[in-house]
Amino acid sequence: MQRTIRVVLAALAVLASVLAPTIAHADDGSDLCANRPGLGTPPCTLPAGGIMVELAAVGWERTISPGRRDDSLVHGDALFRAGLGRATEIEIGLGGWARSFSQAGAISEAASGLGDATFAVRHGFGSETEAKFAVQAYVAVPVGRPPGGAGDWGAGVLLPIALPLPAGFSLIATPEIAAAVNASGRGRHLAWGAVAGLEHALTRAVSLSAEVSAFRDDDPEGAATESRFALAAAWRVSRSLQIDIEVDFGLTPAAPDHALLLGFARRF
């Protein structure tokens, strides 16, 4: 697993070096409006006819408890977005290939499977690229299998918010309420929470964000609150390409101890 992460990092470094000459043209006066990186969701939407593909090259999580270690690895989590105009867009998400590894003493377990698909609609209040508030509704379709798939359909509503602050900072927040799939893979329960943080552009091409999330999950098999702290960086290599990285730290026992996500967004 560590070897896989090193290979992905090396590949991203090579890609960045190849595309570095285009960085001078990264700012064309418009916002790329990528969902990634970070825990929250932006309120901006793609203009009419705009197409974007966002791909998580790798996502890794680790949880360590007394006598046990759990790792999960996801490759190829993809999101396809299309602007419909009037500050509205549609999204189709395809879960990547998920693998889980558990080690408890001399006993080890492993499993793998494709993730589920999601369909979403987002409407921003304001222009496509400058909306400060939006509403997004989504439905998750159980086309995958554990550990990637949940086993049943789920749905939810998000309220992405972005407000400008002095000195180039932005306040970002994403409250959410969902009908989450039960851990048993059948039926649904209430889950709710929010993400809040700050975003700041270091240069025309590089931005950083820091976020905290807290979500209450009232699963029948045991309610829990998952909270994370995330640091993310996005590099706009060109007018239509972004490379990003995110590191998460668990703040509650229900959250993974550490997480690392690498990926990119490409607008057409």
Q: Which of 268, 253, 177, 165 is nearest to 209 (CA)?
A: 165
Query: H or E segment at 22?
Result: none
This prediction's pTM: 0.83
Contact 147, 111 (CB under 8 A): yes
- Residue 206, SS3? strand
Question: Phi and psi dihedrals of 262, rounded to 5?
Answer: -130, 140
What one-letter code names the amino acid at 184?
A: S
The pLDDT of residue 147? 85
Count of residues making up the chain: 268
Whose structure tokens read 């966002």?
54
| Token representation of residue 237 | 């290599």
The pLDDT of residue 13? 45
Contact 32, 240 (CB under 8 A): yes
What is the full DSSP assignment across 10-73? Answer: HHHHHHHHHHGGGGGG--SSS------SSSS--S--PPTT-EEEEEEEEEEEEEEETTEEEEEE
Whose structure tokens read 């048993």?
184
The pLDDT of residue 85? 87
CA distance linking residue 171 with residue 199, whole number of Å = 7
The one-digit pLDDT tens for each residue of the chain (268 residues) are 444 445 444 444 444 443 344 333 334 445 789 999 999 999 999 999 999 999 999 999 999 988 899 999 999 999 999 999 889 999 999 999 999 999 888 788 888 889 999 999 999 997 655 668 999 999 999 998 888 889 899 999 999 999 999 988 999 999 999 999 999 999 999 999 999 999 999 998 999 999 999 999 999 999 999 999 999 999 999 999 999 999 999 999 999 999 999 999 999 9
The pLDDT of residue 26? 39
The pLDDT of residue 228? 97
Domains defined along the chain, listed by start: 2-267 (2.40.160.40)
